[in-house]
Structure 1
């Protein structure tokens, strides 16, 4: 039994030693890891205070080599889920959704990340003159994600789309406006919000302590 415990402790010490700093949760998991090259890795939780009238918020997600990757979730400082974003190469990519504090969908954004390690990148876009036909476009990389696809603005009370915008490689192609309805209808919450509320029902916010190992 002692030998097993010794091996476990040695493994844990070795795992922590590779990080320049980290935070340790109450369950023993590590967050906010920074390696010896000052790169962010693994699960991270970021906190932003209220600034000049703008409400503070927190976001949780994953870093790879100092870049955001995959799904990131945004919360109010009270713990309400208000956004789900997706990242690739540290840039927004795919459909990002934003909600009211009551969990009603209010905005969908469509982004396309370009590989920041390349001066030029290629994308497949649909040919407007030929159905289900695509062409390859070479784009100069400006170091940021570009708007690409349909952006939808919702009336949270009714769930209806009140405005939509179509972007192709950052260019606004068309905009459609729909009158806002005054009739309030019961609208089902997005499944991401329902799953979050069900999973976190009755739970307290995770506490963590600093595990810095120094510079």
Structure 2
């Protein structure tokens, strides 16, 4: 009876699927339909290549796209990642683990429907990133975007290390900044002799102190007078300057 059951399942699979495998439990996996699309439960094994570690993952395909939860293991059988997919892209919460089984990173993704590449995004107040001022419909590329909370843990201790908030692939903290915040002033280029006063002042401020001292050439008569009376009593010299 068992042999007849297996033969009937095999003949049924041969008629429905272009390609498939039978698991150790007798299940039909890695199915490819007559259109060449992957369907149903799949187990994928990737051997180590050069410096890249190998892995084995399992999950479901729907019309050749990863769908729902997927698990990834090391070749030694240790759980490495729990990922969720929609439209063949990461969607929702994804968790990654170290060899000790502790989470090292929690990601949050949002997949964009390829059949409807339009999304309604919230507009936040630039002075208060928690306050929504409105919404806007935009066209986006069908891809997975960072959206939600990303949490990082210390790989050795497993303790919380850092957290990031993302909104449609942009950090929430960046959305609260003004358009010019965080930008350094740029000095306009100017040819020699035509530079503006503000540019000259900015350049002077960066020069060493000894370069800022201007050398004053004394008149020849004053130099001769000082040389003649060097080492003697000082005399007041009128250099032609007026004022205090």
Scaled by the length of structure 1, the TM-score of the pair is 0.69
Provide the residue aligned with 1:24 in structure 2. Answer: 22
Q: Where do 5+ consecutive residues of structure 1 fail to align?
A: 176-215
Cα separation, partners in 2 of 1:83 and 1:6, compared to 1, 3 Å: closer
What's 1:159 paired with? 158
Report what 1:14 is aligned to. 12
Counterparts in 2 of 1:25-40, with a 5 A limit? Answer: 25-40=23-38
Match of 1:150 in 2: 149
Equivalence for 1:100: 98
For the residue of structure 1 that corresponds to 2:44, the secondary structure is strand
Per-residue Cα deviation, 1:94-127 (whole angstroms, up to 9, x for no partner): 110000111011000110011011232345x596
Q: What SS class does the counterpart of residue 174 from structure 1 fall into?
A: helix
Partner of residue 225, structure 2: none
In 2, are the aligned partners of 1:115 and 1:121 still within 8 Å (CA)? no
| Contact 2:123-2:136 within 8 A present in 1 as well | no
> Once superposed, what is the RMSD of the aligned Cα atoms?
2.9
- Once superposed, which parts of structure 1, at least 4 consecutive aligned residues long, lie more than 3 Å away? 5-12, 125-137
Report which of the two has the higher share of helix: 2
Contact 2:16 2:33 in 1 (8 A): yes
Distance across 1 between alignment mates of 2:47 and 2:5: 42
Aligned length: 172
Distance 1:136 1:68, change over 3 A: farther
For residues 132 and 17 of structure 1, the distance between their equivalents in structure 2, rounded to whole angstroms, comes to: 58
Distance 1:86 1:139 in 2: 25
Aligned-pair CA distance for 1:160 = 2.1
Gaps of 5+ in 2: 175-244
2:83 maps to what in 1? 85
Alpha-carbon distance in 1 for matches of 2:172, 2:124: 13
1:173 to 1:24, Cα distance in 2 relative to 1, 3 A: same
